[in-house]
Amino acid sequence: MAAGGAARDPGHERWMRVALDQALLALEVDEVPVGAVVVHEGQVVGAGFNQPISANDPTAHAEMVALRSAARALGNYRLTGATLYVTVEPCFMCAGALVHARIATLVYGAPEPRSGAVQSVAQALDNPALNHRVSVVGGVLEAECRELMQAFFKRRRSYRQIAKAAGT
């Protein structure tokens, strides 16, 4: 399903704030600040933040970590009826994992213009060949999610400029 505009839903905002808290954990370990939580029957059953660098794992995106955590908590890799909240639009890998996990709804904050596979670069979840449909809500707390990413990359660029000026 195509990403819809973010209806002002206090429930969505509540859980997105929990995902933002996860993103801050990524920031603390100098990972790209993306956070995710899986909510099932009104409870967080899985949480994660980006950690591919620190875990030496190219699949350790926030969504994947949260899905693994939820699957362990529920004792099932099928997360039927669950909602995944993530601060940034998922990539192709993560979009595919949502389908395999049978996530009911994806709620994301900021679009990802370079690798977002739900709306920005591709509409992977709209593929008619998929055997599961994920409802999508985009733009929840978009400004806060985007500002966190922008601040991270601005800081990273300034560090590189300092290092370049110092000749290192």
Catalytic residue positions, numbered: 63
Do 138 and 3 meet the contact criterion of CB atoms below 8 Å apart?
yes
CA angle at 95 for the pair 40 and 129, rounded to the nearest 5°: 110
Give the whole-angstrom CA distance, residue 87 versus residue 7: 16
Give the whole-angstrom CA distance, residue 56 versus residue 70: 21
**Beta pairing class for 135-138 and 105-110:** parallel
**Beta pairing class for 135-138 and 43-49:** unpaired
